[in-house]
């Protein structure tokens, strides 16, 4: 089991563009959470998906949206990119909205 996988590893975009990040959860996990980690900061919760629905959301604007597929994989979409969206985006999976999160390696997004 490769654990939680994320793609792409790195991404460079320009302001105003849109981006899609992908995550495959650990085998046996059905819940996916997304976190944003700015440089020098701790991860910040964006939202969580379970049973293909957004269950919890952090303090992020509507430009941040997501989706979960029947195979439990998930996408994070960010529209109208701002320079401040540059960060490491972490995906974490868990079984049944459980408390034990397994993190992926992250996608490094740079907005120019």
Residues of this chain that interact with another protein (CB under 8 A) are 3-4, 31, 33, 35, 40-45, 48, 55-56, 58, 90, 94, 97-106
CB of residue 29 to another protein, shortest distance in Å? 12
Closest to another protein by CB, 30 or 81: 30
Separation CA 57–CA 16 (nearest Å): 23
Angstrom CA distances, 74 to 1, 30, 87, 107, stand at 18, 10, 18, 13
Closest to another protein by CB, 38 or 112: 38
Closest to another protein by CB, 6 or 85: 6
CB of residue 108 to another protein, shortest distance in Å? 13
19-24 and 102-103 beta bridge pairing: unpaired
Q: Can you state the percent helix, strand and coil of the chain, rounding each to 5? A: 5, 50, 45
* Alpha-carbon dihedral sign for residues 79, 84, 87, 93: negative
Closest to another protein by CB, 42 or 70: 42
CB of residue 53 to another protein, shortest distance in Å? 14
């Amino acid at each position: 089991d490769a654990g939680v996988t994320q793609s792409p590893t790195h991404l460079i975009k320009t302001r105003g563009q849109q981006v899609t990040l992908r995550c495959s959860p650990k085998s046996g996990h059905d819940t996916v959470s997304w976190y944003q980690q700015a440089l020098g900061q701790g991860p910040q919760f964006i939202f969580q998906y379970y049973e293909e629905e957004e269950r919890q959301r952090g303090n992020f604007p509507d430009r941040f949206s997501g989706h979960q597929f029947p195979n439990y994989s998930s996408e994070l979409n960010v529209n109208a990119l701002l320079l401040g969206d540059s960060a490491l985006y972490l995906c974490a999976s868990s079984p049944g909205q459980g408390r034990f999160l397994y993190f992926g390696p992250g996608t490094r997004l740079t907005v120019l």
